[in-house]
Amino acid sequence: MSADVAAAGPSVPVGAGALPPLAELVERSTKRTRAVYGREIGGVDDGLERASKIKLTTKLAIEYKDVQVLPPVLQAQAGPAGPKRPAAVAGPSAPAGVGAGPKLITGGEAPASSSSSASSFATPAPRALVKFRHQEGFAAEGGHASSRLSQALMRKKEAREVKPVYHPQWKLSRVISGHMGWVRALAVDPGNQWFATGAGDRVIKIWDLASGELKLSLTGHISTIRSLAVSDRHPYLFSAGEDKMVKCWDLETNKVIRHYHGHFSGVYSLDLHPTLDVLVTGGRDSAVRVWDMRSRANIFTLTGHQSTVADVKCQASDPQIISSSMDSTVKLWDLAAGKCMTTLTHHKKAVRALAIHPTEFSFASGSSGTNNIKKWKCPEGIFVNNFTGHEAIINTLSVNEEGVMFSGADNGTLTMWDYATGLPFQHMKDIPQPGSLDAEAGVFCSAFDRTGTRLITGGADKTIKVYSEMA
């Protein structure tokens, strides 16, 4: 009796059926136990591998049908590169054109069942270069049209390319002599009647814009004058020099009425805020100082630059102050908080010049070396594009409302740019005054007049040159 019970196996509850075999249970829960028992149990095929191969083959046939096979033209030019493998005989189900030449893109062999789907995308061997097919946008001789992805990329590239606006050429119309030193600073009257220049002879000279005649000379600085600015809302002229002085001149009495003391070294740049009674200066002490025009109080001392501040610019909206330095950085400052908003580190060398567009919310910066002029979008300081073509040390930049930007370099080269696209449309060379050295062809400062049709530059040959648009 006991032998019969042992042969019957384990006892089961009354009324329950016999348990199914273990192999059947495992086969039912294959998805959950595949990772654990996959090696021990064979013969489990869920079709994923075969489906992946079909998907890859189909995708390659659709996207790369034009470049899967090397064109016969290039096959004839290419010589034997080394020992060849035995040529595989194309089977009856092989797509036409795929076995005609060496395959450039392969994605594994498709199973026999997928050959019919892959053959529907088969293409004969093209007889022309692929790039011509893509450029024309339709099938070349013996090929099919390019894929939709390629056509979409072509349309996107064409939409990105902006054609430059036509600008007339510029010519030298007048050369003005009178300074005894390098002309380092320029400022144009808001009424477009006169302009002021400052030079290494420590004298500020006022010139008639129409005739070029000298109207006035102002003395008071004891070193080179590096920057000038004329107020739009007051009869004031501001000057800064290497003697650490920042002066405010009353143009009704032609006398100095205020001094702004605080810089520890030479002041290289100054600018006036367009709507506030605020004056901003920067110099060799690596600090940007903000002054109250009336009370002469130093409102802010903006620190952060590691070297000489070469140029500062002001605008009505944030960032209200933009400064460039010899430490190859450009900083955007928040005037209300007195803090730096962004530091731009794209330049590799000293940034000597800045220019703010009169109407567009953007600015340009210039340094030396390759890609030395860059355009930025405000207020975040987003990089827009490079101005390539003026490989020199850029000392000055100016922009007018017509979208013409001027760049002047240390070696006397001048370039006129289309500001919107960053393409140059005219290259010129500064000719030194007779009796000057060839090395004295550098351009240090520039400014457009209020109409934007005349450009005034000052250089190392101690002269002021006026350029005008050609009709």
Could you tell me the CATH number of the domain that includes residue 314? 2.130.10.10
Q: Is the pLDDT of residue 131 over 50?
A: no
Q: Is the pLDDT of residue 411 over 60?
A: yes
SS (H, E, C) the chain: CHHHHHHHCCCCCCCCCCCCCHHHHHHHCHHHHHHHHCCCCCCCCCCHHHHHHHHHHHHHHHHCCCCCECCHHHHHHCCCCCCCCCCCCCCCCCCCCCCCCCECCCCCCCCHHHHHHHHCCCCCCCCCCHHHHHHHCCCCCCCCCCCHHHHHHHHHHHHHCCCCCCCCCEEEEEEEECCCCCEEEEEECCCCCEEEEEECCCEEEEEECCCCCEEEEEECCCCCEEEEEECCCCCEEEEEECCCCEEEEECCCCEEEEECCCCCCCEEEEEECCCCCEEEEEECCCEEEEEECCCCCEEEEEECCCCCEEEEEECCCCCCEEEEECCCCEEEEECCCCEEEEEECCCCCCCCEEEECCCCCEEEEECCCCCCEEEEECCCCEEEEEECCCCCCEEEEEECCCCEEEEEECCCEEEEEECCCCEEEEEEECCCCCCCCHHHHCEEEEEECCCCCEEEEEECCCEEEEEEECC
Q: Is the pLDDT of residue 207 over 90?
A: yes
User: Residue 274 domain-assigned?
Assistant: yes
Q: Are residues 384 and 242 in the same domain?
A: yes
Q: Are residues 229 and 154 in the same domain?
A: no
The per-residue pLDDT for 1 is 45
Q: Are residues 175 and 145 in the same domain?
A: no
Q: Is the pLDDT of residue 399 over 50?
A: yes
Q: Are residues 397 and 448 in the same domain?
A: yes
Looking at per-residue confidence, does 471 or 296 come out higher? 296
User: Residue 256 domain-assigned?
Assistant: yes
Burial of 183-209, coded b for 16+ CB within 10 Å and e otherwise, reads bbbbbbbeeeebbbbbbbbbbbbbbeb
Q: How many C-beta atoms lie closer than 10 Å to residue 467's C-beta?
A: 21
User: Residue 243 domain-assigned?
Assistant: yes
What average pLDDT is seen over the chain?
A: 82
Q: How many C-beta atoms lie closer than 10 Å to residue 388's C-beta?
A: 13
In the block, tokens 């006129």 appear at: 416
pLDDT digits (tens, 9 = 90+) for 227-264: 999 999 999 999 999 999 999 999 999 999 999 999 99
Domain span including residue 153: 101-161
Q: Are residues 156 and 185 in the same domain?
A: no
Q: Where is the domain boundary, 113, 141, 161? A: 161
CA-nearest of 49, 100, 50, 55 to 74 is 100
pLDDT digits (tens, 9 = 90+) for 381-390: 999 999 999 9
The per-residue pLDDT for 463 is 95
Q: Are residues 310 and 418 in the same domain?
A: yes
> Are 340 and 321 spatial neighbours (Cβ–Cβ below 8 Å)?
no
User: Residue 376 domain-assigned?
Assistant: yes
User: Residue 19 domain-assigned?
Assistant: no
Looking at per-residue confidence, does 129 or 459 come out higher? 459
Looking at per-residue confidence, does 129 or 210 come out higher? 210
Number of domains in the chain: 2
User: Residue 70 domain-assigned?
Assistant: no
User: Residue 73 domain-assigned?
Assistant: no
pLDDT digits (tens, 9 = 90+) for 44-56: 566 788 888 898 8
The per-residue pLDDT for 63 is 78
| Residue type present at position 100 | A
pLDDT digits (tens, 9 = 90+) for 33-78: 666 655 555 555 667 888 888 988 888 888 777 676 777 777 777 6
The per-residue pLDDT for 29 is 74
Cα dihedral 229, 230, 234, 235 in deg (nearest 10): 120
- Residues 139-167 have a mean pLDDT of 65
The per-residue pLDDT for 348 is 94
Gyration radius of the chain's alpha carbons: 38
pLDDT band at 145 (very low <50, low <70, confident <90, very high): very low
Q: Are residues 285 and 347 in the same domain?
A: yes
Q: Is the pLDDT of residue 471 over 80?
A: no
- Residues 337-364 have a mean pLDDT of 95
pLDDT band at 163 (very low <50, low <70, confident <90, very high): confident
- How large a percentage of the chain has pLDDT more than 90? 61
Q: Is the pLDDT of residue 417 over 50?
A: yes
The per-residue pLDDT for 17 is 65
Q: Is the pLDDT of residue 118 over 70?
A: no
Give CA–CA dist 282/327, Å, rounded. Answer: 14
Q: Are residues 268 and 386 in the same domain?
A: yes
- Residues 157-169 have a mean pLDDT of 78
The per-residue pLDDT for 57 is 87
- Residues 216-236 have a mean pLDDT of 96
User: Residue 339 domain-assigned?
Assistant: yes
Q: Are residues 155 and 197 in the same domain?
A: no
pLDDT digits (tens, 9 = 90+) for 86-99: 544 444 444 444 44
Q: Before 319, cis peptide (omega within 30)?
A: yes
Q: Where is the domain boundary, 118, 138, 161? A: 161
Burial class (CB in 10 A: 0-12, 13-18, 19+), 64: middle
Q: Are residues 368 and 299 in the same domain?
A: yes
Q: Are residues 157 and 178 in the same domain?
A: no
